[in-house]
Chain A
């Protein structure tokens, strides 16, 4: 299998606090990797490092065999064009991060038009398709019968997160990073997002790296599950072999209180 990301001896941290230390991980193309684990264990940081939104302090990261960043003793050297890298590695955030003052359509077309150089007409057509795919109507029908563009604050949290997904997909990324995208939503809405993610996955086959607290969510979407604790990988397994690790105490203790909640989530 072709390699997508490779992390070698990566150390990340803020101030004197090191979140990850000497961390190694390889993620392959076509994989759907779910990273689970308790809060503060460096999952989100890891994801942000893959997108170069944060820089590592030590070690190096490869993308498709090409070294993108290299760091020694706190000084990082980015070896690719950061903006080009971010354009090909999509990320969706926990709090959606839509631009509230831009219309839904503009939120989605901003990247394609101004970064990827797609014509406005093509970008808008694509944005409308993606909106239809995630079942968000980007226009509101006013009383006089005219349709007016909608803005993010007019949407529910779940709808906003779906627009954020559409915005990331609109850039045709080579991989999609999902940073706890269901954590700000209640279980039924989280389950809804899952359905749309599956739909996107079936249509575009974009490799996924998702960070989540919901193990059930991870299990139903991912092909590989990584459980992290204190900056280390405790469990790394194909999702269908997850039972083999049922005896791992750290993993188990994390699973148990979540299961009831998560089952509810998938049931909706």
Chain B
């Protein structure tokens, strides 16, 4: 079977594709920033083994279950459609996407960070104490750099997935890349061209992510010597 490609269509809608890509990238980067910051705080909090942290740990575990165990699609739909019903608060579809994507990512990053901290030998921390470093300084100068070193591959995998998860925004009508293709398809009945175009865009962007990752990996800082 031969398919009659209308590639001109992609050029015709180039501005829509670019706009969609920008929304996708914005969703990705904003949620990565918030998800990472929240995830690091939670992961570090989970690693503090003190009796007074017990209730905090319980709250974090519930948080992780809620935002990490729920499928992202369920979380998005629930927040968008049922929060207004139950609590009379209403957010735009875009805001819900930002929040749900960030919370979901933060739950996974919390686990990654906790795992990375458990791999840091206690002697590193003791050596810091021995020269008189206060806890926060040990965290900043010794623990944080090692978390980043140890967790980098897991974090990059999560970040690349995050880019792909943004497609779920289309369900709420956020005009990210996938929804852009939907709209073009409805207007032109040219689904194959529209979806092929975005497939290529997704491939190229993930390819760029991976190239950047390879460069970062080569940096002196990320070499693990332990």
Interface residues of A (CB under 8 A from B): 51, 53, 83-88, 90-91, 93, 95, 97-101, 110-111, 114-115, 151-153, 167-168, 171
Q: Does B173 contact A (CB under 8 A)?
A: no
Given contacts A85-B132, A97-B130, A101-B223, 12 further A-B contacts (CB under 8 A): A53-B129, A86-B129, A90-B131, A91-B130, A93-B127, A98-B127, A110-B128, A110-B141, A115-B133, A152-B225, A153-B226, A168-B131
Selected from A95, A115, A151, the residue in CB contact (under 8 A) with B131 is A115
Question: Which B residues lie within 8 Å of A84 (CB)?
Answer: 132
Q: Is the CB of B225 within 8 A of A171?
A: no
Considering only CB atoms, which chain A residue lies closest to B224 in the complex? A101
Q: Is the CB of A53 within 8 A of B130?
A: yes
Q: Is the CB of B126 within 8 A of A97?
A: yes
Question: Which A residues lie within 8 Å of B149 (CB)?
Answer: 101
Selected from B126, B133, B141, B142, the residue in CB contact (under 8 A) with A53 is B126
Q: Bound complex: CA of A153 vs CA of B226, how far in Å?
A: 7
Q: Is the CB of A97 within 8 A of B131?
A: no
Q: Is the CB of A111 within 8 A of B133?
A: yes
B165 CB to nearest A CB, Å: 32
Contacts A99-B124, A100-B226; A86 near B142 (Cβ below 8 A): no
Q: Bound complex: CA of A114 vs CA of B224, how far in Å?
A: 23
Selected from B128, B132, B225, the residue in CB contact (under 8 A) with A153 is B225
Q: Is the CB of B132 within 8 A of A115?
A: yes
Q: Is the CB of B145 within 8 A of A86?
A: no
Q: Bound complex: CA of A53 vs CA of B124, how far in Å?
A: 14
Considering only CB atoms, which chain A residue lies closest to B123 in the complex? A97
Considering only CB atoms, which chain B residue lies closest to A88 in the complex? B132
Q: Is the CB of A171 within 8 A of B129?
A: no
Considering only CB atoms, which chain A residue lies closest to B122 in the complex? A97
22 A-B pairs whose Cβ atoms sit less than 8 Å apart in the complex: A53-B126, A83-B132, A84-B132, A85-B132, A90-B130, A90-B131, A93-B127, A97-B127, A100-B225, A101-B149, A101-B226, A110-B128, A110-B141, A111-B131, A111-B133, A114-B133, A115-B131, A115-B133, A115-B137, A152-B225, A167-B131, A168-B130
